[in-house]
Amino acid sequence: MDRDQALAFLHDMTLARAFEERAAQEYMQGNIAGFLHLYPGEEAVAVGVLHACEASDYIVTTYREHVHALVRGVPAEEVMAELFGKSHGCSRGMGGSMHLFDAERRFMGGYAIVGETYPVAVGIGYGIVLKDLPEAVICFFGDGAVNQGTFHESLNMAALWKLPVLFVCENNQYQIGTEIHRHSAVPEVYKRASAYRIPAERVDGMDVLKVYEATQHALQQIRAGTGPQLIECVTYRFRGHSMADPGSYRPPVEVKAFQQVDPVEMALRELSLAYPSPEQIATAGPDCLLRLREYCLDQGHLHEESIKDLEQKVQAEVEAAVQFALECPEPTMDDAWDALLCNRNGEVLT
Amino acid sequence: MDRDQALAFLHDMTLARAFEERAAQEYMQGNIAGFLHLYPGEEAVAVGVLHACEASDYIVTTYREHVHALVRGVPAEEVMAELFGKSHGCSRGMGGSMHLFDAERRFMGGYAIVGETYPVAVGIGYGIVLKDLPEAVICFFGDGAVNQGTFHESLNMAALWKLPVLFVCENNQYQIGTEIHRHSAVPEVYKRASAYRIPAERVDGMDVLKVYEATQHALQQIRAGTGPQLIECVTYRFRGHSMADPGSYRPPVEVKAFQQVDPVEMALRELSLAYPSPEQIATAGPDCLLRLREYCLDQGHLHEESIKDLEQKVQAEVEAAVQFALECPEPTMDDAWDALLCNRNGEVLT
Amino acid sequence: MADEIFYWQALNRALDELMAVDEAIFILGEDVGLYGGSYRVTEGLYAKYGEWRVRDTPISEGSFTGLGVGAALMGMRPVVEIMTVNFALLALDAIINMAAKVPFMSGGAFPMGLTVRMPGGVAKQLAAQHSQRLEHTLMNVPGLRIVVPATPQDAYWQLKQAVLSDEPVIVLEHELLYFSKGQVDETLPPPPPHRALCRRQGRDLTIIAYSKMAALAEQAAEKLVAQGIDAEVIDLRSLSPIDWHTCAESVARTHRLLIVEEDCRFAGAGAEIAATLTERCFTQLEVAPLRLGGLDIPTPYNGRLEAQTIPQVEDIVAAAKQLFN
Amino acid sequence: MADEIFYWQALNRALDELMAVDEAIFILGEDVGLYGGSYRVTEGLYAKYGEWRVRDTPISEGSFTGLGVGAALMGMRPVVEIMTVNFALLALDAIINMAAKVPFMSGGAFPMGLTVRMPGGVAKQLAAQHSQRLEHTLMNVPGLRIVVPATPQDAYWQLKQAVLSDEPVIVLEHELLYFSKGQVDETLPPPPPHRALCRRQGRDLTIIAYSKMAALAEQAAEKLVAQGIDAEVIDLRSLSPIDWHTCAESVARTHRLLIVEEDCRFAGAGAEIAATLTERCFTQLEVAPLRLGGLDIPTPYNGRLEAQTIPQVEDIVAAAKQLFN
Ligand SMILES: Cc1ncc(C[n+]2csc(CCOP(=O)(O)OP(=O)(O)O)c2C)c(N)n1
Ligand SMILES: Cc1ncc(C[n+]2csc(CCOP(=O)(O)OP(=O)(O)O)c2C)c(N)n1
Ligand SMILES: [Mg+2]
Ligand SMILES: [Mg+2]
């Protein structure tokens, strides 16, 4: 990972964090309603995976997808406006937080029924083969989604027909309040892929570089025509399942332990060209990442200033997004009917 | 396998074959309608599995289930009457060929929507655990049924909660006209069980003894409380998928090859206490089973007479079943309303 | 005097009282146990009855509903919670092709003491995939019973009746009713589960509604007084079977019928109500029955638009007035 | 003069003609390829277009229908065959929550050129699980179009229109129609897909039916002549949207309405038809519209009972006469 790339990752992860925390505030203010599923803690997954994709690849994801949209290049304004339900939102205010779309960026949607992403991705993969193009589809899903029947059905078809689909499990180890050992007989998600003879790998989802490299590798294989691949990213969400969930089913120590391997912190560490030694990590104690960051700064690979600059820049981006969303007009019922009937292509029923 | 047991197997398999062939004739005569899925070729599976069960175990099976019912002890009269849609059929003429039931014998039904048997079996298994009883559930399904989402969902739950369910795949290698390599990315069904950490085994489904022994072993484990097990029985159906299917998608040589390992013939062989040597089998040539039967007869373990007696007895049973079915009254609409409303327990809606 | 409790508490109490005495009853669904249920309905039951009787499931709606069918066949009384009705689309084979048909197909040899609870309806900006209403689909399935309690008292009564029934019963709960309050008197004898309730008597017009819309219809009726219209409000309480007698008797008196439902109007539950009551009361009707239903459009996320897609109190008032033009 | 061909052949011809010119069209379903389709609809297409464009699938209805949704989103024109409508219960999430809603939820940014074909209805003693009718469920879903061709000509026209549409279209084919024959003229310009067809003109009574029941209604109308009743028979051809204009115009002339459907009567398609036409034609109606539908019972296997659960020609005649008492 070169310095430019590292800085790009760091930008996206910092933006992701700031965007989501601001969304939480706007939800409390009443500017956002419905179910709001936030991503803090899991940023390394979306950033690592999506930076390894081509613009011509298709993205299919879940209801926890603001960050995926941002990283894919959907302007923060349009994402925020959608959370506000406004007419310049990326789904014109019709979809909301759980249903972000962007046709131009091949962002094929956030799906809110757990398990829907698999067949959609497989269908796009099928179309790609029919058209004989070098494209691929990225299919995101959670650990809880692995037990839905569509996982099984879709992975079997993808493997049987060698479709160009990369399945990415965002294993944050919880299905709302149900911990993975209580929902999956085999909690190592990547092992399930063997039932379809799909090559699979488990990576540290708190480490953006590892995620990025695994994705690159998998996509190479896929573009070589060998069929689907699966990557399980082990990660953690710092917040509750959605804004409606206090998350009290998780032991505080568990939450804290994962916060200490915060991927944003880890990305900062990556910027340091002189990595800390294992001993240094071992002696770092419970606030190891904070200390590491200081250590990196001490080494001069990253200045306090540049971190502050980045944070300010990102805050300004988020602020602009909120302003845009606030000022944006509400959609009308005509817009809604239009969204429903536009595929009728002007056919008039009499 | 002692002689009595062997003779019992042989009886059931001979009856099964005769019953099904007669059902085919009655279908041609117009006495049976609807979809009629016959079992010739696969007898060793139902007979081997069900002889290893206790009367207190529950059976859940598919639309190809006449033989399962017969072996479980549902009188041939009642099965045939059901195929005729008559009021003394085991489902009172309401279910027909695909929906045989017998509450007393814990024959929990034939299910016609592929993949339904899994959750039903898992539900009964759950009930058994709640009641803390030493019972088990046998869940039959075809190779095509393995790709239904319920397979995945149900096996995960069965394994997660260690339910007493024996999953039995009747792998006849076809999903109607689609051969297993064209429907399953992993055509060895038993391998799929590893995705749920369920112990699984593949057995020669043309060999009733092997099926019986595998079932006994699996049920022992299950009753010891170790959770579900899976057995894949590799078998073949000699006829089309149903009476509506000529089966022309299968190469004639394939059909013929499997007919030569006919499980009824193999059961006859088992009756010989002096097993043929591998050399004898090797030199037996394409009609090896017929020759073996002759060989067994030569050894005096089974007389021509006893085979003829058995065949006559079985024919008489089938004939009696047909007569019963013919003479049986048709159900009335009152019977139908009763079947629908009996669980209302007399509640009158006004 | 009975105490005022939340709708969710009434459901919780019904389950608790039944589970304490009948070991055949068990609950299953996503996050019903440790978490206590998305809408708190199963709160405290996991601690009290243990994980086998309050079972947290994987996200496998088709199979855990089917699990309920299997358990019911052997005489258990499973209470399946489908987290919301939106996910019931994944469980319709289990409900329609299994629960409703298996006892019939066996010639009547098995009980089906299955209860399926599902929160549903348009809540607060949950967008199109999370705003389903499924009553029309379930009504068309012979063999199912469907109750739609609108008050804590009915929630308490009807859930108890559902769990103890040997027929499969669907309990449709509205997501916006869980935190509504009302009295629950456990000592009162419950009416039959399908009995409609006249919530307000009136002479000029019959308004038939159910679930959340029943309360809105009542509010509209109060407003109509000022317009000189005395409306009778009937809460159906059950969608299958429907208590036609109570409805027809009212229409015969008022000669005017307004049906209010949240479901999309086209082929919604209201269509059946209008069609049957037209057959039964044709000569007594002054004007054609009017259906006020949800718009035939997926639910938009935007809050203002969402509100415009389902009937509001003012819409009911306006529709009622229309019947007098 | 066009030749007489089977209904299944008309469908086959429609697919073949379209596939020859549009590479975006592909077929998928169980046994549609090598086997040629359970009802022969896709016969010969596998050999002609290869396995990628005529794809045999595993038994995974939920996902292969969802596959169709995904492919349609990127501009393909998948034609999904669900072997029979009974298995569509497993695919309803894909149809209802995805195909019908995704383009809307995106604000109208994607096409949904998905066609889902499903044979259905009560055929010959297939028992309760294999005798579903699902029109009521699908009708209640805004965003879907539903066609119900009753003749080879309509099968040919409406399937072509469905495949070329950017809206998701459900084609409900009746299992007992596949081997019915009729002329198919490829040179005629097709009517709009939702246009109802007056199959017989009459003055005394309007009979509205669709799919297999349209032919039965016509037969009944011929018999009614002897009773002095001149019935008009309307074949709806489309259940969503419904051509209300054609229907209402007829009722305004005849003053009497009989609706015939095979679906269970309670909350079936007929309820919507009766309710809307009552609203539109109340003052023109002499008597209440009558719905003749299937009995509200799962379909028994026994042949005689099965026949009693759905309308027969004599039942239609009797119902029509009832409207004149
Ligand atoms: C089919 C379905 N069932 C239930 C739900 C409710 N639900 C929403 S998110 C969720 C948990 C999903 O967990 P996981 O797949 O691990 O994703 P995460 O939220 O952890 O990212 C559940 C049960 C749903 N949306 N869809
Ligand atoms: C959900 C569903 N899809 C399709 C069918 C139609 N169908 C009936 S049997 C069958 C093939 C099943 O194959 P398999 O499971 O191998 O069982 P076999 O018939 O070979 O015993 C199919 C596709 C069905 N009954 N249910
Ligand atoms: Mg998770
Ligand atoms: Mg098979």
Q: Atom 8 (ligand 2): residue with closest C-alpha? A: B114
Q: Which residues have any ligand 2 atom within 6 Å of their CB?
A: B 64, 112-115, 142-145, 170, 172, 174-176, 241; D 30, 59, 61, 83, 87, 90
- Report the C-alpha gap between B180 and B175 in whole angstroms: 7
Give the chain A residue whose CA is nearest to the CA of C57: A183
Q: What is the pLDDT of residue A301?
A: 54
What are the structure tokens assigned to D116, written together?
A: 């889902």
Say if residue D49's pLDDT is above 70: yes
Using most ligand atoms within 8 A of CB, pick from B114, B143, B192 the residue to mutate for ligand 2. B114
Residue range(s) defining the domain that contains residue B170: 3-341
C192 part of a folded domain: no
CATH of the domain at A180: 3.40.50.970
Lowest mean pLDDT among A239-253, B224-238, C70-84, D36-50: A239-253
Q: Which of A59-68, A125-134, A282-291, C271-280 has the lowest mean pLDDT?
A: A282-291
Name the residue of chain B whose CA is nearest to A191's CA.
Answer: B195
Average of per-residue pLDDT across A332-336: 98
Please give the residue range of the domain that contains residue C8: 2-185
D121 belongs to a structural domain: yes
More confident residue, C36 or B154: B154
**pTM of this structure:** 0.95
**Average pLDDT, integer, range A156-185:** 97
Q: Is residue D36 located within the same domain as residue D178?
A: yes
Residue B321 lies in a domain: yes
D86 contacts D129 by C-beta, under 8 angstroms: yes
C179/chain A closest Cα distance in angstroms:
15
- Mean pLDDT value across residues C306-310: 98
Confidence check: pLDDT of B164 > 50: yes
Q: Does residue B131 carry a pLDDT above 50? A: yes
pLDDT of A8-42, one tens digit each? Answer: 888 888 899 899 999 999 999 999 999 999 998 89
Same domain, D39 and D152: yes
In a domain, residue A186? The reply is: yes
**Contact partners, residue D55, CB within 8 Å, separation at least 6:** A126, A161, D26, D27, D28, D29, D32, D33
Task: Name the pairing type of β-strands B137-142 and B58-62.
Answer: parallel
Which chain D positions have a beta carbon within 8 Å of B145's beta carbon?
A: 59
Given a cut of 50, whether residue D92 has pLDDT beyond it is: yes
| C-beta separation of A236 from A264 below 8 A | no
Residue A87 lies in a domain: yes
Asked if D301 is an interface residue toward chain B (Cβ–Cβ < 8 A), one would say yes
Amino acid at residue number D150: A
* Same domain for D16 and D78: yes
% of chain D surpassing 70 pLDDT: 100
Written as one letter, the residue type at C144 is L
Rounded to two decimals, the ipTM of the complex is 0.96
Task: Tell me which chain C residue has its CA closest to the CA of residue D100.
Answer: C298
One domain, residues D217 and D164: no
Q: How confident is the model at residue A287 (pLDDT cuts 50, 70, 90)?
A: very low
Active site (annotated) includes residue C218 = no
Name the average pLDDT for chain B.
89
Classify residue B315 by its DSSP letter. H
Report pLDDT digits (tens) over C207-241: 999 999 999 999 999 999 999 999 999 999 999 99
Cα–Cα distance measured from residue D179 to residue B252, given in angstroms and rounded to the nearest whole number = 29
Summarised one tens digit per residue, pLDDT across range B279-307 is 543 443 322 223 333 434 555 556 777 77
**pLDDT tens digit string along D218-252?**
999 999 999 999 999 999 999 999 999 999 999 99
In angstroms, the CA B74 to CA D296 distance is 31
Predicted pLDDT at A311: 86
User: Do C32 and C53 sit in the same domain of this protein?
Assistant: yes
Nearest to C164 by CA among C266, C21, C48, C305: C21
- What pLDDT, in 10s, does the model give residues C123-142? 999 999 999 999 999 999 99
In terms of Cα–Cα distance, which of C106, C24, C16, D127 is closest to B123?
C24
Q: Which listed residue (D43, D130, D167, D186) is catalytic?
A: D130
Rg of the Cα trace of chain A?
A: 20
Confidence of residue A174 (pLDDT cuts 50, 70, 90): very high
Q: What is the mean pLDDT of chain D?
A: 97
What is the tally of structural domains in chain B? 1
Q: How confident is the model at residue B266 (pLDDT cuts 50, 70, 90)?
A: low
Summary mean pLDDT of chain A: 88
pLDDT of residue B171 exceeding 80, the answer is yes
pLDDT at res. A285? 37
Separation of alpha carbons D320 and A172, rounded Å = 64
* Count of residues in chain D: 325
Determine the pLDDT at residue A244. Answer: 81
C-alpha to C-alpha distance for D250 and D247, rounded to whole angstroms: 5
Q: What is the pLDDT of residue A151?
A: 98
- pLDDT classification of A300: cutoffs 50, 70, 90: low
Task: Please check whether residue B176 touches D, CB under 8 A.
Answer: yes
Q: How far apart are CA A64 and CA B120, in angstroms?
A: 33
Q: Residue range D118-139: average pLDDT?
A: 96
Domain boundary, last residue among D132, D153, D185? D185
- Which chain C residues are closer than 8 Å to A147 by Cβ? 58-60
Among A307-311, B165-169, C144-148, C310-314, name the one with the lowest average pLDDT. Answer: A307-311
pLDDT given at position B137: 98
Distances (CA, A) of C111 to A149, C177, D42, D296: 28, 31, 42, 19
CATH code, domain with D72: 3.40.50.970
Mean pLDDT, range B269-277, rounded to an integer: 44
**Does residue D176 belong to any structural domain of this protein?**
yes
Residues 144-203 of B with CB under 8 A from A: 147-153, 155-156, 159-160, 182-186, 191-192, 194-198
Give residue A273's pLDDT.
38
With pLDDT > 90 as the criterion, what percentage of chain D qualifies?
Answer: 98
Rounded Cα gap, residues A239 and D23, in angstroms:
47
From B35, B148, B340, residue closest to D59, measured CB to CB = B148
Q: Which stretches within chain B are classed as H helix?
A: 3-29, 43-51, 66-72, 76-83, 117-131, 149-160, 189-192, 208-223, 252-259, 263-270, 278-283, 288-299, 304-327, 333-341
Secondary structure (3-state) at C180: coil
Residues B49-101 have pLDDT tens digits of 999 999 999 999 999 999 999 999 999 999 999 999 999 999 999 999 999 99
Residues C57 and C130 in one domain: yes
CA–CA dist D42, D58 (Å, integer)? 17
Residues D181 and D283 in one domain: no
Same domain, D181 and D312: no
Residue A329 lies in a domain: yes
Q: Do residues C109 and C146 touch, judged by C-beta distance below 8 A?
A: no
Answer with the one of D151, D185, D219 that is the final residue of a domain. D185
Calpha distance C166→C115 (Å, rounded): 9
Stretch among A214-223, B245-254, C278-287, D197-206 having the lowest mean pLDDT: B245-254
Percent of all residues in chain A with a pLDDT value above 90, rounded to a whole number: 70
For residues B299 and C186, the model is more confident at C186
* Percentage of chain C exceeding pLDDT 70: 100
As beta bridge partners, residue A140 has A168
Cα D144 to Cα D127: distance, rounded to the nearest angstrom: 28
The strands making up A200-204's β-sheet, listed across from edge to edge, are A107-111, A58-62, A137-142, A165-171, A229-234, A200-204
**pLDDT for position B270:** 52
Whether D201 and D140 share a structural domain: no
What is the C-alpha separation between B60 and B145, in angstroms, rounded? 14
Q: Which of C4, C30, C61, C272 is catalytic?
A: C61
Kindly give, in sequence order, each residue whose CB lies less than 8 Å from that of residue D189, ignoring residues fewer than 6 positions away: none
Classify A154 as helix, strand or coil: helix
Checking if the pLDDT of C273 tops 70, the result is yes
pLDDT of residue B29: 94
More confident residue, A119 or B260: A119
Rounded alpha-carbon distances, angstroms, from residue B342 to B334, B338, C66, D294: 11, 5, 22, 21
Please tell me whether residues C100 and C249 are part of one structural domain: no
Residues with CB under 6 A from ligand 1: A 64, 112-115, 142-145, 170, 172, 174-176, 241; C 30, 59, 61, 83, 87, 90
Element (H, E) at B141: strand B137-142
Counted domains in chain D? 2
Task: Give the count of beta carbons closer than 10 Å to the beta carbon of residue D205.
Answer: 25
Mean pLDDT of B320-345: 98
B165 within domain boundaries: yes
> Mean per-residue pLDDT for B22-28?
95
Contacts of A271 (CB under 8 A, 6+ apart): A3, A6, A7, A10, A296, A301, A302
Which amino acid belongs to residue C195?
A: R
Instruction: Determine, for residues B116 and C98 on separate chains, whether the beta-carbon distance falls below 8 Å.
Output: yes
Q: What is the pLDDT of residue A208?
A: 87
* Angle in degrees, 0-180, between the axes of helices A3-29 and A76-83, rounded to the nearest 10: 20
C97: nearest CB among D62, D89, D271: D89
* C-alpha to C-alpha distance for A276 and A263, rounded to whole angstroms: 16
| Final residue belonging to a domain, choices C158, C185, C212 | C185
Q: What is the CATH number of the domain that holds C209?
A: 3.40.50.920
Q: pLDDT at position B279, please?
A: 52
A149 vs B147: CB contact, 8 Å cut-off?
A: no
**Ligand 3 centroid, distance to A7 Cα (angstroms):** 28
Please report the pLDDT score of residue B295 as a whole number.
38
Q: Are residues C22 and C46 in the same domain?
A: yes
Provide the pLDDT for residue B273: 37
Q: Are A143 and A110 in contact (CB under 8 A)?
A: no
For ligand 1, mutation pick of A64, A98, A176 (most atoms within 8 Å of CB): A176
Residues C20 and C158 occupy one common structural domain? yes
Is B224 a residue whose pLDDT tops 80? Answer: yes
Q: What is the nearest CA distance from C71 to chain B, expressed in angstroms?
A: 4
SS3 D151: coil
Say whether D130 is catalytic. Answer: yes
Judged against a pLDDT cut of 80, whether residue B206 lies above it is answered with: yes
Across the interface, whether the CB atoms of D62 and A150 are under 8 A apart is answered yes
**pLDDT tens figures, B59-70:** 999 999 999 999
Range D253-273 average pLDDT: 98
Half-sphere exposure of A38 (CA within 13 A, CB side): 25
